[in-house]
Amino acid sequence: MNKLVFRILTIATIIFAPVFAKAQEGTSTGSTPLMLTLDQALEIALSESNTIKIADMTIEKSGYAQKGSYAALYPNVSVSGAYQRTLLKQVMVMDMGGQAMEIKVGRDNNISASASASMPLVNAQLWESLKLSALDVEMAVEQARSSKIGMVKQVKQAFYAVLLAQKSHEVVGQVYENARKNYEKTEQRFNVGKVSEVERLRAQVTMMNAEPNVSSAENAVLLATWQLKAVMGIDLETEVQVVGDLNDYTEQMLTPYVSEEDISSNSSLLQLDIQDRMLESTLRMQKKQYLPTLAASINYNYSAMGDDELRWFPSSTAALSLSIPVFDGFQKHNAIKQTKVTRNMLALQREDAERNLRIAIRNFNDQMALCIKNYQAANATVEIAQKSYDISEKMYEVGKATMVELNDAQVALQQAQLTQAQAVYNFMVTKASLDELIGKE
């Protein structure tokens, strides 16, 4: 096994090992597999993934919280009632003409019922807090968008991993098939005395060495497919057949460049901007704590008391309450200062985030440019290696080349094909990461 094949199969086994046992259980369901393209995989993931469902629920939860904050603008109405039974009446002692007189106070039964309503009339701090609740919803929406963009990247990368595993399986299968045919030809030539026993044994060993690689490649495809299903959020028992080839994406390798200025849709920056607006709203709300507040309230009470016969007495009040803050030990002043410092810290964080984002975009562009160069070099090498193998095969058939030379030509061809597929895979994986970075939906 050459080094590149070994590296690809080893990486695939390590990445997808957690689902290996489960994968082997679901290989023989007998059902018709779902033919899965990249667009279909993305559509299913965005509707079935728990990550997306949680993001949507977060938006719904924030919406309810915003509606709850508007309740402070409506009257707060409450009704209460109470019953009190006097077990032992209070005794009062009074001096009446020089003699003490004891008088029991109260009634055996006391009943009261009341209704009250209150609402703020002037409360600038409350009004500003409602704007802050709206920003909470906006933050939840942006976080949900970020989750969807991240999910798209994961599905794409898992899908490309399946295509790479399928391509590796195809190349390794072709190598085995060539080794098998060469062995059969060598066996025929050995039977008529045209090649030596050593040559026949070398051809047989080459074929036997290629066979385990086919099994390893099949497992890599199986495990990569299971990982894709796990990322999509579908039942792991579902039979799927990934449709496509890495060569289908070679046209996308022609325009890899993304400007470092194209960061307006980056979710991290947008979330930092929303946080800054939230701090700005918090700052305004804290400043408005210095303003007076005015509230109105009304109360109606109906009570009764008596021993054997109850007598009912209604009462009602209406009030305006004006609150003027005077001094709180500089609590509000220090809170405002703290918010200002937090906002300055956030501005520095955004500056660093933007700088790192531009560096990452440049790095991804450089990586994709390197992938293009590797693909172009591998593409030319594949053509040369294929011709070399075809010539070596013909020369071997007529006895002008040895099995060692034929094997070398085959290894070179296999190496070039896998390098070509790896270049396309690396490009598409990097492009998926870049799309997530710039916030492309």
Grade residue 371 by pLDDT with cuts at 50, 70 and 90: very high
Is the confidence at residue 8, as pLDDT, over 60? Answer: no
Q: Which CATH class is domain 3-75+123-292+329-438?
A: mainly alpha
Q: Residue 288's CB: how many other CB atoms inside 10 A? A: 17
pLDDT at 23 over 60: no
- DSSP string across 326-341: ---TTHHHHHHHHHHH
| Rounded (to 5) percent helix, strand, coil in the chain | 70, 15, 15
Q: What number of CA atoms fall less than 13 Å from residue 90's CA on the CB side?
A: 3
* Residue range 176-184: mean pLDDT, rounded: 87
Question: What confidence tier does 27 reach under pLDDT thresholds 50, 70, 90?
Answer: very low
User: What is the C-alpha end-to-end distance of the chain, expressed in Å?
Assistant: 41
The average pLDDT across 138-153 equals 93
3-state class (DSSP) for residue 107: coil
CA-based nearest residue to 125, from 340, 344, 288: 288
* Residue 392: other Cβ atoms inside 10 A: 22
Total number of residues shown for the chain? 441
Task: Check whether 275 has a pLDDT greater than 90.
Answer: yes
Mean pLDDT is lowest, of 26-30, 98-102, 162-166, for: 26-30
| pLDDT at residue 255, as a whole number | 67
Q: What percent of the chain has pLDDT over 70?
A: 92
- Which are the contacts of 134, defined by CB distance < 8 A and separation ≥ 6? 66
Q: In whole angstroms, how far apart are CA 238 and each of 38, 217, 222, 231, 426?
A: 17, 21, 13, 13, 28
The pair of structure tokens assigned to 316 is 């009602």
Strands 311-323 and 99-105: unpaired
Condensed to tens digits (0 to 9), the pLDDT of residues 403-441 reads 788 888 888 888 898 999 999 999 999 999 999 999 987
pLDDT of residue 65: 87
Count CB-CB contacts under 10 A for residue 63: 15
Rounded mean pLDDT of 175-188?
86
Q: How far apart are CA 220 and CA 170, in angstroms?
A: 12
Complete DSSP assignment for 373-425: HHHHHHHHHHHHHHHHHHHHHHHHHTTSS-HHHHHHHHHHHHHHHHHHHHHHH
CB atoms within 10 A of CB 178: 21
* 181-187: average pLDDT: 86
Tell me which residue of 219, 186, 189, 223 sits closest to 204, measured CA to CA. Answer: 186
Give me the half-sphere count of Cα atoms (radius 13 Å) on the Cβ side of residue 49: 24
Question: Is the model's pLDDT at 26 over the cut of 70?
Answer: no
Q: What is the enclosing helix (H) or strand (E) of 77?
A: strand 76-85
pLDDT tens-digit readout, 220-245 = 999 999 999 999 988 888 899 999 89
Of the candidates 404, 386, 391, the residue with the CA atom closest to the CA atom of residue 195: 404
Residue 5 pLDDT > 80: no
Predicted pLDDT at 220? 93
Q: Record the tokens describing residue 177, joined without a space.
A: 């098939």
SS (H, E, C) 275-292: HHHHHHHHHHHHHHHHCC
